[in-house]
Amino acid sequence: MKSFIKKQRVPFYLDVLALVMMVVGMVYLIQSSVMTVTNRLGNLPWLIVALVVGMVAIVLDIWASNRANDKGYLTMICKMIAIAANVGVVGNALDTRVMMIAGLFTYNRGYQEGWAVFNVSKICFALLLIAALLLIVSAFFRPVKRAKVAKAENNGETTENPAE
């Protein structure tokens, strides 16, 4: 385990932080849906499934980047799935909440339950969007430290993979 942590670089920690933010964002999403009956999300099970798929994609991304023969394809696909899940959930939940939010800022200012749902939804949206941003940033860096390649017997030159 210690050698596993030693060979990790910045994207690993960003992915783990994004995973934690997705879990907390999912808790806030569920809380915003069950606070009141009138402001529930009708498609909450699908939103939870999308977030769980994104979380599994992050775990698969971490596993794929630590394989010995990693070319980066599976890692990028997993990152794209996780980013799409986060942004899709935010867009879908915001689409459901937009009329309630519009009412709160115009004619329905005294609706206290609506303000509570709005505040919890803001936290959920912020967490999921920050998690997506962390995943985007982590996609630009190499996730694992690679071991140096041994010197070749001919001319003492190193034979390194140019793709690394």
Q: Is residue 149 part of a domain?
A: no
Mean predicted lDDT score pLDDT of the chain: 84
Average pLDDT in the 12-18 region? 92
Encoded tokens for 116: 């509570």
The pLDDT, as a whole number, for residue 7 is 65
Which among 125, 20, 135 has a CA at the least distance from the CA of 84?
135
Q: Is residue 160 part of a domain?
A: no
Overall number of domains in the chain: 1
pTM for the whole structure: 0.79
Q: Is residue 73 part of a domain?
A: yes
Q: Which domain holds residue 36?
A: 18-138
Q: Is residue 2 part of a domain?
A: no
